[in-house]
Amino acid sequence: MGRMWTHYPELLQRPVPRYTSYPTAADFSASVGPDAMADALRQIDKATPLSLYVHIPFCEEICWYCGCNTARSNKQSRLSAYLDMLYREIEMVSALLGGRGRVQRISFGGGSPNALDALDFVRLLGDLTVAFGTENPLVSLELDPRRLTPAWLRVIEATHVANVSLGVQTFDPAVQQAIGRIQPLDVIETLSRKLRGAGIQSLNFDLMYGLPGQDLTSLLDTLGHAAEMRPDRIALFGYAHVPHIVARQRRIDASALPDDADRFMMANVGHDFLVAQGYRPVGFDHFALPHDPVAIAARTHTLNRNFQGFTDDEAEHVIGLGASAISQFPGLYAQNEKNIGAYRTAVGAGHLPVERGVVRDAESKGQGFNARAAAFRR
């Protein structure tokens, strides 16, 4: 095993905001609202590179560990009502842009975008293309592999989706049972082959450590299976158990969770295992094969970070659409209403659904740049 990280148990006891997004949730306030978002959109120039993030806050099944903003898609009427408001938000944002900006990337997250019917996704992508005047944007998708139908695979190929991220988490059947996500190994193996056949350029696996009943042997077994399938990227996240915030996590047996020392060891061993398998570390919990655009960007010092994480996307303007989506501008972060009902109410009344945000000053911008630059100095 490679270099051992230094363990500081006293630091692990300190409550801190989640590291997976920056700025952290604690930095957002209600002082930022619809007017700030509208002003930021009006300041975009005609040639400004733009990226879009579209949030689909629905899943067919809700996994117990998940802290994402999502709800069950058990009624088609819920999906249809949400899409109606999403189309109206797209129309409002497009009108404020007035044809300015060049959309180069569109990312769909959730939830699970494939909670939508495949044809609804085609209509949504088409509406975005027309509203923002996009030409051959790079399209990325987060997917629930348990619900990826043949129709969805055909749509992925026909619309030239470039990047796909699969929520895998673990291949250990006992751990899957403990987190409410049953997903056999052969499902992921088969789907990975089909996605490659559909023309996917970059495939990511989301994996987790610190899950109930998980030990080092279980984690290494999962990492071994993942490495054999050679996804272009792997994200290895630490599970955050916050049942006082995420009610669904109360179904997880807290007594079965690894302690802080075990979690630290899992992160360390997972890092060394993936590096030994040929993956380049991107930060401390993301990994990419050398040919992947994110690894190339890290190697050539062109890597960027937006609120979603490290990226090779050079756009400084990211427009978030949908409930809880976050927009990013050089001087501002703005987050939409998290609650689906509140989101629909705001958009239905003709308002941008921004609930809170962060105004970025020169110092905070510099800190963000330096932090991400330091993560890749070797």
Instruction: Indicate which CATH number applies to the domain containing 140.
Output: 3.80.30.20
- β-partners of residue 280 are 288
Give the range of the structural domain holding residue 124, as residue numbers without chain letter. Answer: 9-374
Distance CA 166, CA 190 (A): 13
For residue 310, what pLDDT band results from cuts at 50, 70 and 90?
confident
Mean pLDDT of all residues in 190-211: 96
Distance CA 77, CA 82 (A): 8
For residue 79, what pLDDT band results from cuts at 50, 70 and 90?
very high
Distance CA 69, CA 66 (A): 9
**pLDDT value, residue 7:** 78
* 78 is a domain residue: yes
Who's near 235: CB < 8 A, 6+ residues apart? 165, 204, 205, 206, 207, 285, 286, 287, 309
Q: How many CA atoms within 13 Å lie on the side-chain side of 332?
A: 22
In this structure, the strands spanning 354-359 and 280-282 are unpaired
* 1 is a domain residue: no
Task: Round the average pLDDT of the chain to a whole number and report it.
Answer: 89
Distance CA 298, CA 311 (A): 9
pLDDT above 60: residue 74: yes
**pLDDT value, residue 20:** 61
Q: Provide the domain count of the chain.
A: 1
Q: Which of 20, 107, 102, 104 is nearest to 305 (CA)?
A: 20
**pLDDT value, residue 184:** 94
For residue 198, give the amino acid letter: A
pLDDT digits (tens, 9 = 90+) for 24-49: 778 899 999 999 999 999 999 999 99
- β-partners of residue 238 are 209
Mean pLDDT of all residues in 301-314: 85
* 348 is a domain residue: yes
For residue 366, give the amino acid letter: G
Asked if 46 and 98 count as a contact pair (C-beta separation under 8 A), the reply is no
* 14 is a domain residue: yes
pLDDT digits (tens, 9 = 90+) for 270-307: 999 999 999 999 987 899 999 999 999 999 999 988 77
Phi first, then psi: what are they for 186, rounded to 5°? -65, -25
**3-state helix/strand/coil string of 188-230:** HHHHHHHHHHCCCCEEEEEEEECCCCCCHHHHHHHHHHHHHHC
* 2 is a domain residue: no
* 340 is a domain residue: yes
pLDDT digits (tens, 9 = 90+) for 115-149: 999 999 999 999 999 999 998 999 999 999 998 99
* 4 is a domain residue: no
